[in-house]
Amino acid sequence: MKFIFTVVFASLLFPFAATLARAQEVPTANRPVQLADLLAEAERNNPQIQAARNGWQSAQQVPTQVSTLPDPQFVLQHVSVGSPRPFAGYTNSDFAYVGLGISQDLPYPGKLHLRGEIARKDADVTQQRSESVRRMVLAAVKMAYFQLAYFAEQRTILDGDGQLLQQVEQASEARFRNGMGSQQEVLQAQLERTKLLREITTNQLEAGKVQAEIKQLLNRQQSSPDIETTELSDTATPYTYDQLLAAANANNPEIAGAQKMVEKQGLQVDLARKDFYPDFNLQYMWQRTDPTQFRAYYSVTLGVRIPIYRGRRQQPELAQAEADQSQAKNNSEAQTQQTAFLLRQQFLSAEKSEELLKIYREGLMPQARAALEAGMAAYQSNRQEFQGLLSSFLDVLKFDEEYWQTLSEHETALAQIEQLTGLSLR
């Protein structure tokens, strides 16, 4: 029976060992990249950031366009007598003449200024949106970077725990050969090694997805070398929630953009009220008949465009502007509340994850390793069951992975706080 099992065990183990060795091969390492370098690269190369900046630059060109007088209109006029042909009868009729004039539309005073101010507020809103896109992209780079760092740490943990599991497997084999253990214990140890192989493969898959995401954010080719991160470290939160909230209210682009929109809609109401007043048109005309008999004529004409359809045009326009102003105020208040809510969430996440990290470092992780070492010694001396030893090993694996995952979540929460407040917490 032992001979049959040894043959089967060897036939299963050798292919598995080769597969596990391939999974644990470390590719040629690139030099670790600092997060600050990737953020600077994203600011330079990310197309979303560039597009948002171009939109802001475009919006800055509008105020002068809408606050400038309409282009003047030049008029060439000719009146002939007795013939439809141009200039026919110019010398044989006192009524034939040539005229040259210019016409200029003149909006009611204050309208052009208001249109320029509205366009400037639009540009301000676009600027805040550009800043919001910039912060969103940089926060995404930070979060992807922290995920990559977590997967790298997880891979190191899996490799190290693979060695621990190998010791467990060797101990189970030794007990089986000495007649103290069962075949089930050896098979259970092999099963856990297979599960570990699955975890390594899953780790590589998820890390590959994050590599693709961060390359997209950096506008790199997907075939470019993978990014290697530095080791994750715990960053303390130097601010209270009230301090962070004050910074968010002062610096958050979403809040600032909503406030600029309120100001714009206020100006839009003022412009709608101005539309109740008339616009003007000023025209100057020079006319020449027979120069040998008559002197030239000069005329000035002032036209007035009267808003007589107030009930169908100006009053609905004013009502629309006032409704848009109320909507903008409500949106601004909602944005302020939303920012406070998101900030509170991330602050609590950072605060509690910091406490969890201390619990893992000072309690769970060293205790789990001590329990595993004691369990290994007890198992080898036939004083503990295999399931107890396996449970201790799984605790070590779980707590190590949870620690680095919590650290990644802690740094991600800080990245989102930085996005909301504009502060640098590192």
Q: Is 16 part of any domain?
A: no
Q: What is the DSSP letter of 289?
A: -
- Clarify whether residues 126 and 160 are in a common domain: yes
- Clarify whether residues 129 and 99 are in a common domain: no
pLDDT at 58 over 70: yes
Ranking 40-54, 104-118, 171-185 by mean pLDDT, the lowest is 171-185
Six-digit token pair at 84?
A: 């439809």
Nearest to 406 by CA among 367, 349, 362: 349
d(CA 142, CA 150): 12
If you average pLDDT over residues 43-49, what whole number do you get? 95
Question: Which residues are within 8 A (CB) of 169 and not within 5 positions of it... i.e. 6 or more apart?
Answer: 186, 189, 190, 193
Nearest to 349 by CA among 417, 410, 407, 420: 410
- Clarify whether residues 115 and 250 are in a common domain: yes
- Clarify whether residues 254 and 286 are in a common domain: no
d(CA 286, CA 146): 76
Query: What size, in residues, is the chain?
Result: 426
Ranking 6-10, 135-139, 235-239 by mean pLDDT, the lowest is 6-10
- Clarify whether residues 38 and 152 are in a common domain: yes
Confidence band of 377 (pLDDT split at 50, 70, 90): confident
- For residue 87, the enclosing domain spans 73-106+279-312
Q: Is 426 part of any domain?
A: no
- Clarify whether residues 206 and 232 are in a common domain: yes
- Clarify whether residues 193 and 227 are in a common domain: yes
Confidence band of 27 (pLDDT split at 50, 70, 90): very low
Q: Is 317 part of any domain?
A: no
Six-digit token pair at 205?
A: 């898959």
Residue 224 belongs to a domain with what CATH number? 1.20.1600.10
Please tell me the predicted confidence (pLDDT) of residue 306.
93
- Clarify whether residues 119 and 134 are in a common domain: yes
The β-bridge partners of 285 are: 101, 299
Question: Which residues are within 8 A (CB) of 306 and not within 5 positions of it... i.e. 6 or more apart?
Answer: 278
Confidence band of 261 (pLDDT split at 50, 70, 90): very high
- Clarify whether residues 336 and 370 are in a common domain: yes
Nearest to 275 by CA among 123, 158, 111: 111
Helix (H) or strand (E) holding 304: strand 297-305
Our measurement of the distance from residue 120's CA atom to the centroid of its chain's CA atoms, rounded to an integer in Å, reads 25
Q: Is 18 part of any domain?
A: no
Please tell me the predicted confidence (pLDDT) of residue 26.
39
Average pLDDT, the chain: 85
pLDDT at 410 over 90: yes
Confidence band of 220 (pLDDT split at 50, 70, 90): very high
- The domain total for the chain is 2
- Clarify whether residues 196 and 147 are in a common domain: yes
Instruction: Give phi and psi for 91, each to the nearest 5.
Output: -100, -10
Q: What is the DSSP letter of 77?
A: E
d(CA 130, CA 378): 63
Nearest to 329 by CA among 267, 254, 258: 258
Q: Is 190 part of any domain?
A: yes
Q: Is 95 part of any domain?
A: yes
Q: Is 120 part of any domain?
A: yes
- pLDDT per position as a tens digit, 86-119: 666 666 676 777 889 999 999 999 999 999 999 9
- Clarify whether residues 416 and 365 are in a common domain: yes
Ranking 29-43, 284-298, 329-343, 367-381 by mean pLDDT, the lowest is 367-381
Please tell me the predicted confidence (pLDDT) of residue 321.
95
Number of neighbours of residue 203 by Cβ within 10 angstroms? 19
More confident residue, 171 or 293: 293
Q: Is 65 part of any domain?
A: yes
Helix (H) or strand (E) holding 170: helix 111-177
The β-bridge partners of 103 are: 73, 283
- Clarify whether residues 165 and 265 are in a common domain: yes
Nearest to 354 by CA among 418, 400, 416, 412: 412
